[in-house]
Amino acid sequence: MYIIIVGAGKVGYTLAKHLSEEGNDVMVIDKNPEVLKKATDSLDVMCIKGNGTRVNVLKESEVERADVIIAVTDSDERNALCSLAAKRLGAKHTIARIRDPEYAEELSMLKDELGIEMIINPEKEAAMEIAQLIKFPSVSSIETFANGMADLVSFRLLKGDSIVNKAIYDINLKRCSVLFCAVERNDKVLIPTGDFVLKANDKVYVIGDHTNITSFLQHLGKYQKKVKNVMIIGGGRISYYLVKLINKVGAKIKIIEKDYNKCEELNELIPEAIIIHGDGTEEELLESENLNETDVFIALTDRDEENIVSSLFALNARVHNVITKVTRVNYSNIVKKVGVESVISPKMITANKIIKYVRGLKSKDGNFIENLYKIVGEKAEALEFVASSNTRCKNVPLKDIKIKKGVLIAAIVRNHKIIIPGGNDIIKVNDSVIIVTERHNVMGINDILLEGGL
């Protein structure tokens, strides 16, 4: 596919990297020669210096033959205008990043008239992911499938945990219908089989429905009861969306923001939260606001360094659930090494959504991607497909299907029920099939099958 990315910032660069690695022809447009040089030096992409809203620049990029144009500049207006112009000039599909809450709502209603196939709001998507993490306070990450019916959660195994040094088939799950999908050990991804022995410090990924995941975590002693107190550092757009999402659970929410004018604005926009004017990197202020009584601490400022520092204070105060926003890829590993397990990256959330959409367009067998998440530090993927009449392995027992190495069929959802599959289970048309794999660029269910694998 020929893909044009307008805007080579953090999200644009990440998209260019992943989409080019998946074999697409990628053109990047940006006005800044420095970011274009970085893209040219590091990635297998083409670049044009210029304004992506200008017709002559779009024509130079051969927009009329573009399968997808993705507008991710730092301006909502430019992204909308670029998408509109590209569509009129012949681009098949357009995607625009729109961040302003009011503008996003208006454009969502008008996107069909404007010819924009996908509008994505990174801050809103990040807030939704944090809200999911708050649902299971004891886990590091949570991804949802099948319209929220299935959860894929991850957590770190500690030395004293009851399942450490046990093979998976020896673990007494006490009727909990869950499946171990992946294990991160020493920065490597492992797809476990029944004889796989779990070790302390492993990060494990487990899938099941909400009830069974809850029972499993209770069985391990890792389940935390309802969240009562939430402290948020930084009063940006993510905080705004997050308060609207979690206010319904009845938690007491505090936001600490050092910009006085923004505090006044937040006081009007989200009266559900207590707004405190101050610096979230000052330990004395955090302690005076009862940090030690906080159930969830969320660092959401615009500076990674401030988020890391304030998170360290929260860990030192033994806050059980610390969530940290980072934008730099190399900071994610640093944050995890100091003890923060839950790391949020709005740019990766945005990139995953767009990659899912692009792969769906490339699918040849009708198995469009419903969900896509990069897990285990982007070394593996969890994907959801809906089986169609073109699915080659339908109505065949799983034990008789030859699947490529590094692939696991983790769950099947049929008639609003989750099946943790065994060898005799089959895939039927219209089933949601959730796959965890080390392989990248999986477009459909048929891609996981070996040649002659039936």
How much is the pLDDT for 251? 84
Mind listing the domains of the chain with CATH numbers? 2-120 (3.40.50.720), 132-220 (3.30.70.1450), 226-319 (3.40.50.720), 350-448 (3.30.70.1450)
How much is the pLDDT for 341? 83
**Is it the case that residue 367 has pLDDT exceeding 70?**
no
In sequence order, which residues have a C-beta less than 8 Å from that of residue 239 and are 6 or more positions away?
127, 232, 255, 266, 270, 300
- Crossing angle for the helix pair 346-362 and 122-135, nearest 10 degrees? 100
**Is it the case that residue 104 has pLDDT exceeding 90?**
no
Mean pLDDT in residue range 439-447: 87
Residue 259 near residue 266 (C-beta atoms within 8 A): no
**Is it the case that residue 422 has pLDDT exceeding 80?**
yes
Mean pLDDT in residue range 36-53: 95
Quickly tell me which residue has 């997808």 as its tokens.
68
What share of the chain has pLDDT > 90, as a percent? 65
Predicted structure pTM score: 0.85
Residue 408 near residue 380 (C-beta atoms within 8 A): no
Name the burial class of residue 167, with classes exposed (0-12), middle (13-18) and buried (19+) by CB atoms within 10 angstroms of its CB.
Answer: middle
Residue 134 vs residue 267, higher pLDDT? 267
What are the E-state strand segments in 339-391?
Answer: 342-344, 369-375, 380-386
- Report which of 277, 265, 279, 278 is spatially closest to residue 237, judged by C-alpha positions: 265
Quickly tell me which residue has 């945005």 as its tokens.
350
Instruction: Write out the two tokens for 75.
Output: 């301006």
Spatial separation of the C-alpha atoms in residues 194 and 168, rounded to whole Å: 5
- What DSSP assignment string belongs to 4-48? EEE--SHHHHHHHHHHHHTT-EEEEEES-HHHHHHHHHHSS-EEE
> How far, rounded to the nearest angstrom, does the alpha carbon of residue 106 sit from its chain's CA centroid?
25
Helix (H) / strand (E) containing 277: strand 274-277
- Report which of 311, 439, 451 is spatially closest to residue 21, judged by C-alpha positions: 439
Mean pLDDT in residue range 48-65: 96
Tell me, what amino acid is at 109? M
**Is it the case that residue 381 has pLDDT exceeding 90?**
yes
What's the 3-state SS for 121-181? Answer: CHHHHHHHHHHHHHHCCCCCEEEEECCCCEEEEEEECCCCCCCCCCEHHHCCCCCCCCEEE
Residue 31 vs residue 452, higher pLDDT? 31
Mean pLDDT in residue range 57-81: 95
Mean pLDDT in residue range 71-90: 93
- Report which of 412, 293, 283, 437 is spatially closest to residue 359, judged by C-alpha positions: 437
Three-state secondary structure call for residue 51: coil
Instruction: Write out the two tokens for 144.
Output: 């949802």
How much is the pLDDT for 152? 94
How much is the pLDDT for 335? 82
Predicted confidence (pLDDT) per residue in 316-356, tens digit? 999 988 999 998 877 777 887 788 888 999 988 888 889 88
How much is the pLDDT for 452? 66
**Is it the case that residue 365 has pLDDT exceeding 60?**
no
- What DSSP assignment string belongs to 294-351? -SEEEE--S-HHHHHHHHHHHHHTT-SEEEEE--SHHHHHHHHHTT--EEE-HHHHHH
Mean pLDDT in residue range 381-394: 92
